[in-house]
Amino acid sequence: MPQPQFTNVPLGQLGNIEVSTYQTATGPRLRLRRHTPRPAEAYLDPLELEGLTRVRYKPIPLLPPRSDQADAATPRTDGTMAPLQNEFALVSVGVARVGSEEALMIRDMNAGQTVVLRAEELDALLRARHRDFAPLVDTSDLVAIPEADIDQA
């Protein structure tokens, strides 16, 4: 029986974090990898990446608080964004220049929300567990206009 093909496509080196897209037998992932000072590796699926685009509205303890200045600079990309999709989410990822540094840009293709994560924030994600993303993945409290309950009419 043939073994599944795993493909790793580098996106860039942000600080000491290697960022790449990684195709597995169960779907695409964003791969974060640090060699030094302590080796670490994380694989984030499209749903977790989509959740990260909500971190401005739903902060999580894992990531340092974001300042308004961090979001003030306009990120610039060369237009190269890699799509990552599964049955639950569609995002695009790429390296963007923010001021004088490079950062990872994640865009939720359905909602149009974007987050830019710098090297220190990516380093924090290397310590994440999948359950750390639960508040970001749960969208039940993001409904802006409540719908009428048909049972109450």
* Confidence grade of residue 15 (pLDDT, cut at 50, 70, 90): very high
Tell me the C-alpha distance between 114 and 141, whole Å.
19
Pick the closest to residue 17 from 2, 30, 3 (CA basis): 30
Tell me the C-alpha distance between 19 and 33, whole Å.
7
For 99, the 3-state DSSP assignment is coil
Count of positions (residues) in the chain = 153
Tell me the C-alpha distance between 100 and 108, whole Å.
25
Quick: pLDDT tens for 41-86.
999 999 999 999 998 888 888 887 766 555 556 787 777 899 999 9
**Tell me, what's the pLDDT at 151?**
66
Do 44 and 51 contact (CB within 8 A), yes or no? no
Which residue reads 């974060």 in tokens?
32
Pick the closest to residue 8 from 18, 146, 77 (CA basis): 18
Which residue reads 């308004």 in tokens?
68
Say whether pLDDT at 37 is over 70: yes
Q: Which pair of tokens denotes residue 123?
A: 């380093």
Do 88 and 29 contact (CB within 8 A), yes or no? no
**Tell me, what's the pLDDT at 67?**
61
Answering whether pTM is above 0.85, one says no
